[in-house]
Structure 1
Amino acid sequence: MKITYTAHIRETDKQLQSVKEHLQGVKDLAESFGSKLNMRHVAGLAGMLHDLGKYTNRFQKYIYQAVFEPDNSEFKRGEVDHATAGGRLLFSMYHRIENTPQEKLLAEIVGNAIISHHGDLHDYISPKNESDFLRRIDDKTLQEYDLAVERFFQEVISKNDFIKYVALASKELDQATDYSPQQSLFITKFIFSCLVDADRTDTRLFEEKSTEKYSQSHRLLFQTYYQKLINKLDTFKYSTTSSQSINQLRNKMSEKCETFAEKTSGIYTLSIPTGGGKTLASLRYALKHAQHYHKQRIIYIVPFTTIIEQNAEEIRTILEDDEHILEHHSNVIEDDGDDEQDDGFFVKKQKLKLARDSWDSPIIFTTVVQFLNVFYAKGNRNTRRLHNLSHAVLIFDEVQKVPTKCTSLFNEALNFLKTDMHSSILLCTATQPTLENVQHSLLKDRDSEIITDLPSITNSFKRVEIVDKTDYSFTNEGLATWIETNLNNWGSTLIILNTKAVVKDLYERLKEAGVSVYHLSTSMCAAHRKKQLNEIRSMLSNDTPFICVTTQLIEAGVDVSFKCVVRSLAGLDSIAQAAGRCNRHGETESQNVYVINHEGENLSHLKEINEGKQITKSILAMYRKDSERYGHFILSQKAMKEYFLQYYKNMASNLNYYIPEVNKEMTSLLMSHRNENEHVQYYRKKYNAQLPLFLTGSYKTAAEHFRVIDQKATSILVPYGAGKEIIAQLNSDDWTEDLSKLLKQAQQYTINVYSSGFRQLIRDDALVIHLDGAIYELKENWYSQEYGLDLHGEGEMGDLIV
């Protein structure tokens, strides 16, 4: 009787998936993912070997007891290591003296992916001058390792065929790599991504009894989308406002995007001024380019979730499709270190993590935070998405908002997407940062700007006058009085300040004074902000004088048009973006944007804003002396370039993501050449031997310390509107195959809370914790209709209709 070696036991009916079936299924999926970069066999090798350790008697006993004899199990969950054996087999066979450099590199890249597929990639050499990779793959004691290898070659593939397969993988890797540390980093991450997604997908399909097939081509869908977009743009041509000069300019720039889309993939810029219609113009470029060059998906990356909500809704309406457009605000499920532990049997928490979460939708809206997390953050659910960034069109909206400390990491990721991942990148903003002028420079293409004659276009879109009021320092008391005095003359007015504290205080002062006032905050969930913005747009259409008080979250791309804007002094790019919310559609010939100096803002922990503020102050001073230098417009292209060159010069020491805990920059941990890596030299002194590895990146250390936002943020579901129903469904025992869709919906009702606020919520018993910390739910008293999250527990929800 033939023995079946078990990889998984399905929860619902206790059916078995054999190790052979699982390894073959993961191999097939990984091959399809890896083929995107012509590394079919490299990725397939990782899939074929990843769970080889499940062939031990020890694991077979462990999984049987865990499912059928849980009260008498000899093992603790996660105690039996089944992830190391496959990496060790590859390393032991192909990382010897007689092996070629390509074979050794293959063993290091694929070996690391295999041993790490339930966590994060290991350090090849750590800041402690030790190799965690070698300790795991070469030194760790593995019980029944030889038995597992024997069964693998008997059941899955013969040794001779295995050797032939590895030879193909080695050849692919040799053709793909130039052995630079940057490329080695990203190829390792890519193979890891292919393996993790293939493993999770095959496991999910087995658990759901699904025969779903992986589909790569969205070309027909993009053709349909393109025609719908063109039909919509045609309606603008025949509208009653089509003859307005601003609409004629928008149409002209949209047509330029159409023509430019025929250029080969690269890194390009689209510097349409604010209010110039860049969302639809960039979509026109993306859909045309995707068809022309067989791209698989279009990904919009924005700085703030507020833009996701607006842009996704606009594009959904035009394309008449909801199913294929994904908004990815944040991870609803928390990473907890045991990220995707697959012991072959399932509890509810593990099933949540198997849900489809790999960015395989045709059109995706996400944030810069989530994009950078894919490349650099802890948690393999982030890295899982990386392979789906290949053969894509990536549109970065308001690219100047990339956090300064991440500038070099951002540039290196985009360079890899261009040179190796066959993707095209479009940087959209009226205020283009000079990313090509820093140490880790962005490899923009020659003649990269889509819009020609930018100074003339910028002047044509001028709809505001910048009024410099920075010679006087405002307090909130004085600001409130000034606003009350002028509101009837100004009409609808947007106030943008630099910190949440002064925004909330000013809002309360104006409300007490009887002024019609709205408040927007990142403490509100997406659905809540959307409702507030809809009310604000309704007030704007009624031409009613009122005030909206907010932070910079409204600046980047939110389509609102106030008659007046007051902006607290910040970077020149922020002032330009604030100005884009005033007289946005040219309703009148010109309106005023007041720039003020607010003495109540504490910017000691907001270095980027403070630095931008000081540079802008200097440029304003020069403008007062010689306005002709900037073409008599402080927001001119010349002024903006001057601002960014000075900004990156002043912030040069902050561009490479410094990690104080290890006194290293992330670029050094991840991308330093072997002969420049001091830890390699210390290793030689410590062990009196050379580090026997090509790769020297500290991948795990870097991931553990990476945060796009300085503080760790935790995702929390809030009891706002449909959020209550979603919370109930996630906690019910009625599990459906539509779990992935439910998690996507949940993002609309999620807020991200920084560590200090999260600790306070825990202390105040404000959270309900589900599934051992996989999901956090905020209790009702801690969510307010006015402010969103209320850390005082005095939230009043009122009668909300959403």
Structure 2
Amino acid sequence: MFIAHKRKKDGEIQELSAHLSEVSNLAATFAKKIDAESAGRLIGLLHDFGKYSQEFQLYIKSATGEINPDEDDYVDAKGMKGKVDHSTAGAQLVWQRLKRFGNSGQGELCGQILALCIASHHSGLIDCIGVDDKPVFSNRMSKPDEKVHLDECQRTADKEILEKLDQLASVDQVKKLFNQLRRFVDFTNPSTIDFFNLGFFTRFLFSCLIDADRLNSAEFEDPIRLKERLERSGSINWKVAIDRLENHLSRLSVRNYVDELRREISNNCKNNAYKSQGLYTLTVPTGGGKTYASLRYALHHARHHGLERIIYIIPYTSIIEQNAKVIREIVEHKSDTRPWVLEHHSNLEPEQQTWQSKLVSENWDAPIVLTTMVQLLETLFSGGTKGVRRLHQLANSVLVFDEIQTLPINCVHIFCNVMNFLVQGCNTTAVLCTATQPLLNELKCPEKGQLIVSEGNELAGDFNRHFVDLRRVDIYNQIKPGGWSAPEISALALEQFQKHGSCLVIVNTKAWAQELYLRCAECVNDSEIFHLSTNQCPRHRKILLYLIKKRLKHRKPVLCLSTQLIEAGVDVDFSSVIRFLAGLDSIAQAAGRCNRNGTLKDEHGNLIKGQVFVINPDRESTGMLKDIDVGKDKAERVLSEEYEDMLSPAAIKQYFRYYFFDRADDMSYLLVGKQHRNDSLLNLLSSRIGCNENFSNRENKVTLLRQAFMEAGRQFKAIDAPTQAVIVQYGKKGRNLVNELCSVAKEFNARRYYQLLRQAQKYSVNVFPNIWDKLIKENAVHEIQAEHGIYYLDEEYYNESFGLGTERVGRMTAQIL
């Protein structure tokens, strides 16, 4: 008997043939989404083919106690961990079988794609050709048999596996797969985008294999998870969610002109939901009811086209809980057999996955998923295997991008290429939601990739009219030479607070938020002043926002000092807003927090506009934040051009023209360092211009992949400075959560651990490297369990006002993070 896995809790053995067959079936199901079912079946069948070797079987039997230490066959499993190659055999086998088919090298290309998936299923996609021109793929395919054991595996493999292999590794496989590739690639004269598509097709198949393998391993370890997955399999009954939403909307009263316009936009979205799948824009002024309108569109569209899920991609974790709460209250009922909504917004999963973390990692298997742009970009471009397993879930889905203008500038071209790939070949519909639509279909270098948006693809209707009708504020340009000092800003905030009863100050850095809070707190009651930043965990911010909204609703005084986390999608309504100079899109978002519902009145009861002041501080450390710095410069330029309304559609369009023109060179994700001089992530993932190595004997043959996948994964970070998530002990629930996580980890219970990690997302803070180093030196962070890669914060380093800090609360003053 050949062993694939041995269950920890009861010693049950999963036979290798069963694992290969089950992963094969799962991978085929996932790959069917891009009409590559047979290819998925083949890579699933061969991914662990190397486990048929005696070397691997002695290793796993020694590691799991099947062979006792005193037996002759026993080996030092601990010393051999990670050193027994069981992935190359299957890769070499599929490469050897397929490369001989096709007069123009079609079999070589198809064999290479499948071999890459198999060879990489533990490491993340390997390079085809390294940045040092090393022929990584070719070397892997010629790795000596004494290290790979392919001949031995072919002799000893189960007969049923070999029979399936003979059926699948055929000329028909090459014909099917190559025909599918031609949907994405022009092989006669491949462009940068064609090469990118070829690589991304490979990544999609790789995702199918990784998720299939991880799922099967998790379901063998915890059979209840298999039962649950099978119970929720089948098509989603979207009508249930639609009926609940429509019932909810029918009960909403129309109080004023703002509500009338929100209803009009919502109705437009519903009517447009029956159009064909594609790439759409949803351009709605701030406060125009985008959440309800986009949900209405997505549910009706998913039902009409028989889609599998709706994925909301949201820029900030601060918005996820709010939106998730809104959606849950509408579509979920206690009688439901499974939840409709999944939130996924933390990087708590360790980068180096242990077997435990593989069991508990998220794969977005829910009808409605809410995640962040960071998580999505990690799924699309990061290295390793943690994020990529979710990628195939983007097919047969509606992707709703909330505040698309927050897309990192260095990801523009690669993001556009992926969206076009998904929309054109994966039955995906993408909706770009914002009040300030960036010009992603009008880029300076379209040959590197820009969105393909058809005429008439705006869902909301006439945006220019909507903008005029929803204008509820006046913007005051208060920028002055030398800038505003902290005492002057505090005085302005207190003046507006005392005059209007509520004032929101939005700054660009945590340092300013803390300083202004401390200054203003000297003159304001504790119950009336609030501080918000990402140093506070989502649960903490949720409580603070609840208190803020409750006070605003009952016309009680509120002074809030916040970083920009509050300006996108957070449903608050202040009488006055002060915004530090930033990009015009950010100023527009800030304006959306002022007089949001159009109810502001003067002392005579007449409707009036809110006031938004744009100011420049006299000192600000944004030099390392290029997005903010360039945004400030281009916004100031537009503000000086004397538009009648500085947030009008024409002004916003001009702002993005300036901004995108200035940042055109950054859009390919430029790399730094001597090794990557004049190189970019786009190039590593596409044509590899500048690479001197090539595959031999390729004349008159289709191209092979040259991508440096692994190097691209190493270089990619969705945010400039990678963060480390840490669980904070906020409140009694936070402390209990950490205590239980520690106890569950010691006596590993995958199911409970999985549940606790989901809960922990609400109590996690993402920390930048410089702060992480300080916490380590202070001995303020502790691992839940050795080698799990998941950490919690000493409760003495969490402050009720400011959240996570690098000093104990008792000696904390105005620490600036």
Please, what TM-score do these two structures have when normalized by structure 1? 0.92
* Change beyond 3 A, Cα 1:227–1:796: farther
Deviation at 1:323, TM superposition (A): 1.9
Deviations 1:315-369 (A, max 9, x none): 1011125822111012322112xx3xxxxxxxxx412321252111110000100
CA distance in 2 between partners of 1:162 and 1:175 (Å): 21
**Matches for 1:727-742 after TM superposition, within 5 Å:** 727-732=738-743, 733=747, 735=749, 737-742=751-756
CA distance in 2 between partners of 1:372 and 1:591 (Å): 37
Query: Are 1:258 and 2:270 matched, yes or no?
Result: yes
Deviates more, 1:407-416 or 1:19-28: 407-416
* Change beyond 3 A, Cα 1:379–1:788: farther
Which residue, 320, 330, 340 being the options, matches 1:324? 340
Answer whether contact 1:326 1:744 (CA < 8 A) is retained.
no
Which residue, 49, 53, 56 being the options, matches 2:50? 53
Answer whether contact 1:219 1:291 (CA < 8 A) is retained.
no
CA distance in 2 between partners of 1:258 and 1:217 (Å): 27
Answer whether contact 1:359 1:388 (CA < 8 A) is retained.
yes
Deviation at 1:189, TM superposition (A): 0.7
Q: Identify the residue that residue 573 of structure 1 maps to in structure 2.
A: 585
* Change beyond 3 A, Cα 1:62–1:765: same
Answer whether contact 1:399 1:433 (CA < 8 A) is retained.
yes
Deviation at 1:767, TM superposition (A): 1.0
Query: Are 1:779 and 2:794 matched, yes or no?
Result: yes
Q: Identify the residue that residue 25 of structure 1 maps to in structure 2.
A: 22
**Matches for 1:44-193 after TM superposition, within 5 Å:** 44-68=41-65, 73-75=75-77, 76=79, 77-96=81-100, 101-141=105-145, 142-152=147-157, 154-158=159-163, 162-178=166-182, 179=185, 180-193=194-207
CA distance in 2 between partners of 1:537 and 1:713 (Å): 30
Answer whether contact 2:361 2:386 (CA < 8 A) is retained.
no
Answer whether contact 1:405 1:657 (CA < 8 A) is retained.
yes
CA distance in 2 between partners of 1:761 and 1:602 (Å): 22
Query: Are 1:587 and 2:587 matched, yes or no?
Result: no
Deviation at 1:534, TM superposition (A): 0.6
* Change beyond 3 A, Cα 1:371–1:91: same
Q: 2:569 corresponds to which letter in structure 1?
A: G
Q: Identify the residue that residue 460 of structure 1 maps to in structure 2.
A: 469
Deviations 1:479-526 (A, max 9, x none): 112323342113200001111111111111111334542100111111
CA distance in 2 between partners of 1:556 and 1:428 (Å): 11
Deviation at 1:158, TM superposition (A): 2.3
Deviation at 1:711, TM superposition (A): 0.9
Q: Identify the residue that residue 342 of structure 1 maps to in structure 2.
A: none
CA distance in 1 between partners of 2:68 and 2:104 (Å): 47
> How many equivalent residue pairs?
765
CA distance in 2 between partners of 1:173 and 1:766 (Å): 53
CA distance in 2 between partners of 1:155 and 1:226 (Å): 46
CA distance in 2 between partners of 1:30 and 1:570 (Å): 46
CA distance in 2 between partners of 1:508 and 1:557 (Å): 26
Query: Are 1:232 and 2:255 matched, yes or no?
Result: no
Deviation at 1:546, TM superposition (A): 2.7
Deviates more, 1:66-75 or 1:569-578: 66-75
Deviation at 1:66, TM superposition (A): 0.8
Answer whether contact 2:17 2:158 (CA < 8 A) is retained.
no
Q: Identify the residue that residue 374 of structure 1 maps to in structure 2.
A: 379
Q: 2:611 corresponds to which letter in structure 1?
A: N
Answer whether contact 1:41 1:166 (CA < 8 A) is retained.
no
Deviation at 1:155, TM superposition (A): 4.2
Query: Are 1:657 and 2:669 matched, yes or no?
Result: yes
Q: Identify the residue that residue 605 of structure 2 maps to in structure 1.
A: none
Answer whether contact 2:531 2:560 (CA < 8 A) is retained.
yes
CA distance in 1 between partners of 2:364 and 2:162 (Å): 32
* Change beyond 3 A, Cα 1:311–1:164: closer
CA distance in 2 between partners of 1:227 and 1:620 (Å): 46
Q: 1:393 corresponds to which letter in structure 2?
A: V
Q: Name the SS for the 1:156 alignment partner.
A: helix
Answer whether contact 1:715 1:751 (CA < 8 A) is retained.
yes
Deviation at 1:251, TM superposition (A): 0.6
Q: Identify the residue that residue 198 of structure 1 maps to in structure 2.
A: 212
Q: 2:97 corresponds to which letter in structure 1?
A: M
Q: Identify the residue that residue 723 of structure 1 maps to in structure 2.
A: 734
Which residue, 482, 486, 489 being the options, matches 1:479? 489
Q: 2:343 corresponds to which letter in structure 1?
A: E
* Change beyond 3 A, Cα 1:795–1:273: farther
Answer whether contact 2:727 2:738 (CA < 8 A) is retained.
yes
Which residue, 518, 538, 557 being the options, matches 1:545? 557
* Change beyond 3 A, Cα 1:761–1:243: closer
Deviation at 1:97, TM superposition (A): 8.4
Answer whether contact 1:467 1:592 (CA < 8 A) is retained.
yes
CA distance in 2 between partners of 1:569 and 1:251 (Å): 33
Q: Identify the residue that residue 755 of structure 1 maps to in structure 2.
A: 769
Q: Identify the residue that residue 346 of structure 1 maps to in structure 2.
A: none
Q: Name the SS for the 2:787 alignment partner.
A: helix
Deviation at 1:727, TM superposition (A): 2.2
CA distance in 2 between partners of 1:730 and 1:443 (Å): 46
CA distance in 1 between partners of 2:698 and 2:271 (Å): 58
Which residue, 238, 242, 262 being the options, matches 1:222? 238
Deviation at 1:10, TM superposition (A): 1.1
Give the unaligned 5+ runs of structure 1: 340-348, 798-802
Query: Are 1:790 and 2:781 matched, yes or no?
Result: no
Q: Identify the residue that residue 641 of structure 2 maps to in structure 1.
A: 622
Q: 1:334 corresponds to which letter in structure 2?
A: P
Deviations 1:278-305 (A, max 9, x none): 1000000000000000110000001101
CA distance in 2 between partners of 1:314 and 1:250 (Å): 16
Answer whether contact 1:130 1:683 (CA < 8 A) is retained.
no
CA distance in 2 between partners of 1:747 and 1:700 (Å): 28
Q: Name the SS for the 2:560 alignment partner.
A: strand
Deviation at 1:710, TM superposition (A): 0.8
* Change beyond 3 A, Cα 1:243–1:313: closer
Deviation at 1:718, TM superposition (A): 1.1
Query: Are 1:669 and 2:684 matched, yes or no?
Result: yes
Which residue, 335, 343, 350 being the options, matches 1:334? 350
Q: Identify the residue that residue 606 of structure 1 maps to in structure 2.
A: 625
Answer whether contact 1:62 1:74 (CA < 8 A) is retained.
yes
Q: Identify the residue that residue 14 of structure 1 maps to in structure 2.
A: 11
Q: Name the SS for the 1:435 alignment partner.
A: coil
Deviates more, 1:399-408 or 1:716-725: 716-725
Answer whether contact 1:117 1:196 (CA < 8 A) is retained.
yes
Q: Identify the residue that residue 446 of structure 1 maps to in structure 2.
A: 455
Answer whether contact 1:330 1:747 (CA < 8 A) is retained.
yes
Q: 1:401 corresponds to which letter in structure 2?
A: T
Answer whether contact 2:724 2:766 (CA < 8 A) is retained.
yes
Deviations 1:421-463 (A, max 9, x none): 1100111111000001112211112211123322111000000
* Change beyond 3 A, Cα 1:98–1:487: closer
Deviation at 1:218, TM superposition (A): 6.5
Q: 2:48 corresponds to which letter in structure 1?
A: D
**Matches for 1:476-515 after TM superposition, within 5 Å:** 476-514=486-524
Query: Are 1:644 and 2:644 matched, yes or no?
Result: no
CA distance in 2 between partners of 1:132 and 1:188 (Å): 16
Query: Are 1:425 and 2:438 matched, yes or no?
Result: no
CA distance in 1 between partners of 2:672 and 2:255 (Å): 57
* Change beyond 3 A, Cα 1:383–1:216: farther
CA distance in 2 between partners of 1:736 and 1:264 (Å): 42
Answer whether contact 1:520 1:548 (CA < 8 A) is retained.
yes
* Change beyond 3 A, Cα 1:581–1:35: same
Tell me the C-alpha RMSD between the 2 structures: 2.2
Answer whether contact 2:283 2:433 (CA < 8 A) is retained.
yes
Instruction: Work out the percentage of aligned pairs sharing the same amino acid.
Output: 36
* Change beyond 3 A, Cα 1:17–1:501: same
Query: Are 1:304 and 2:316 matched, yes or no?
Result: yes
